A and B are shown apart, each in its own frame.
Chain A
Amino acid sequence: RKEVEQDPGPFNVPEGATVAFNCTYSNSASQSFFWYRQDCRKEPKLLMSVYSSGNEDGRFTAQLNRASQYISLLIRDSKLSDSATYLCVVNPTGGKLQFGAGTQVVVTP
């Protein structure tokens, strides 16, 4: 089993719609969680950290479910500019960053 798993997609989303996807992780001791965004042929950039209580940043909402060992990202009112690959990142205590392979989102007009 991979340490971090994501549905590769693509998720084809009409502009203005809501899209949500999950990421599962295998190490129950993991302490830090992040969502990164990667545009085509660019480096990954931090989208948001994921906190235990869940957190929101504008149209983006992240949730953590420790019992089931997954994190989720929800994008509301999707924009064309949201088209990208979204990478789930898990950081076990004191360990290396573990990246998922990414979920591709394509927002269509």
Chain B
Amino acid sequence: GAGVSQSPSNKVTEKGKDVELRCDPISGHTALYWYRQSLGQGLEFLIYFQGNSAPDKSGLPSDRFSAERTGGSVSTLTIQRTQQEDSAVYLCASSQDPGTTEAFFGQGTRLTVV
């Protein structure tokens, strides 16, 4: 595609439910990043993929959070048993070469846990 695509753009869920957030990176981009951003705050790193492997998942806040990437392309971030503090915008970015090139962001998924 022309850019990084994320779905859904908005998600409202009840506390305790599981949610899946999807990221479609730019074709050919090997690196994929997940961040989250609470209102008025900076970007919080969650996980980084190089191909299908995740060399750095240090930012996942708890074991309720998991992510996978298949075929070196689409990635899914799953949050189990959602809590109100999980409410944030979840941003995905991809880059062609993680060492040198810039990353491009999707428009994000705004998650609200009620």
Contact = CB atoms under 8 A, between A and B. Distances in A.
A96 B99 CA distance: 8
A96 B56 contact: yes
Contact-size category for B: 20 to 34
B100 A91 contact: yes
Interface stretch (B21-29, B40-48, B68-76, B77-85): B40-48
Interface of B: 33, 35, 41-43, 45, 48, 56, 91, 93, 95, 98-108
A97 B106 contact: no
A102 to B, nearest CB: 6
Interface stretch (A10-18, A38-46, A56-64, A69-77): A38-46
Nearest to A100: B42
Interface of A: 31-32, 34, 42-46, 49, 87, 89, 91, 93-102
Contacts of B35: 99
